[in-house]
């Protein structure tokens, strides 16, 4: 995040952002559950220009063994950005940023999964960012919780997440890449709409208390919308399973 160059205007005089949205409007969001056959659970998400896939394996025996917790499962998330997902080629492999994002997503998910049901195991969550345009950590978390539900892992609830920020001095919902780069604040948040519980909150930049109030209001409304898209993805997934025999599955088993 850096200061706005004077020639870049992120919000016009009518309150419209450079991608045509109003300040409290989210980018279009689509989620599909159960997209990978080999994973126990999976989800594919498109959110504006972000494209993210999440795959879940487990609960399975935790390796290395010294990481096992005799009282509960551990949730291990690996967030990764493909080399081609950003405008400058990203060097493959983990870096400080992806290690941080993996950690905060693991912690957010540990808050909702009934980990005590599966002692000594690991629940592995892989998040692959195929195309990035700001907000990939919240997109990854949103997809991962659908993939966990698709894997049939008992959990308190789904976890919708969104980033709120500040551009041209105004609070804006769901930052795009330009707003993330040239705006002055970024506040990713994950909230369970049913209980209001916040399982992830970060802050980059500065906001006044009044601005935080506005931002939380936008995020609360957006998380409710995202939650409906998540539930709809799972409903569609199980409507398909109930209604049709998967021909690819049977040919796989014969092979
Ligand atoms: O993606 P998110 O907003 O959660 O995380 P960020 O660290 O605030 O990154 C914002 C955006 O910067 C990403 O979504 C990418 O579009 C971009 N980015 C990039 O172009 N190259 C990187 N190595 C990392 C991020």
pTM: 0.93
Nearest CA residue ID for atom 18, ligand 1: 86
Per-residue pLDDT at 245? 57
Distance CA 20, CA 27 (A): 10
Ligand 1 near 191 CB (within 6 A) = no
- Say how many Å lie between the CA of residue 132 and the centre of ligand 1: 7
Cα(139)–Cα(108) distance, integer angstroms: 13
123 Cα–ligand 1 center, Å: 26
Domain architecture of the chain: domains with CATH: 29-247 (3.30.230.70)
Cβ distance 165 to 183 under 8 Å?
A: yes
pLDDT score for 42: 98
pLDDT value, residue 67: 95
Residue 214 makes CB contacts below 8 A (sequence gap 6+) with: 171
pLDDT at 112: 97
* Ligand 1 contact, 166 CB (< 6 A): no
Query: How far is the centre of ligand 1, averaged over its atoms, from the C-alpha of 190 (Å)?
Result: 18
Whether 180 lines ligand 1, by a CB cut-off of 6 Å, is yes
Q: How far is the CA of 85 from the centre of ligand 1 (A)?
A: 10
**Pocket test residue of 104, 136, 142 for ligand 1, highest count of atoms within 8 A of CB:** 136
Residues of the chain with pLDDT under 50: 253-255
Contact 143, 54 (CB under 8 A): yes
Identify the pLDDT of residue 142: 98
Distance 48 CA to ligand 1 centre (A): 14
Per-residue pLDDT, 8: 81
What pLDDT, on a 0 to 100 scale, did the predictor assign at position 202? 97
Cα–Cα distance, 59 to 40 (Å, whole number):
9
d(CA 30, CA 223): 14
């Amino acid at each position: 995040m850096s200061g706005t160059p004077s020639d870049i205007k992120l919000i016009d005089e009518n309150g419209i952002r450079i991608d045509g949205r109003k300040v409290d409007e989210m980018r279009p969001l689509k989620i599909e559950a159960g997209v990978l056959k080999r994973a126990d659970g999976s989800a594919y998400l498109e959110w504006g220009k972000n494209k993210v896939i999440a795959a879940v394996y487990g609960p399975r025996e935790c390796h290395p063994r010294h990481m096992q917790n005799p009282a509960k499962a551990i949730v291990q998330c690996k967030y990764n950005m493909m080399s081609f997902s950003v405008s400058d080629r990203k060097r493959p492999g983990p870096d400080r940023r992806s290690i941080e994002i993996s950690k905060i997503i693991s912690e957010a998910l540990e808050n909702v999964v009934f980990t005590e049901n599966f002692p000594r195991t690991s629940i592995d969550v892989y998040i692959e960012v195929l195309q990035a345009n700001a907000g990939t950590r919240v997109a990854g978390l949103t997809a991962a919780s659908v993939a966990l539900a698709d894997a049939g892992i008992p959990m308190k609830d789904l976890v919708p997440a969104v980033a709120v920020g500040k551009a041209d001095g105004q609070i804006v919902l769901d930052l795009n890449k330009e707003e993330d780069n040239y705006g002055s604040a970024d506040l990713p948040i994950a909230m369970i709409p049913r209980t209001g519980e916040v399982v992830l909150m970060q802050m980059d930049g500065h906001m006044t208390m009044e601005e935080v109030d506005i931002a939380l209001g936008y995020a609360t409304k957006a998380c409710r919308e995202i939650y409906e898209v998540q539930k709809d993805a799972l409903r569609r997934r199980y409507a398909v399973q109930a209604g049709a025999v998967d021909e690819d599955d049977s040919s796989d088993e014969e092979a």
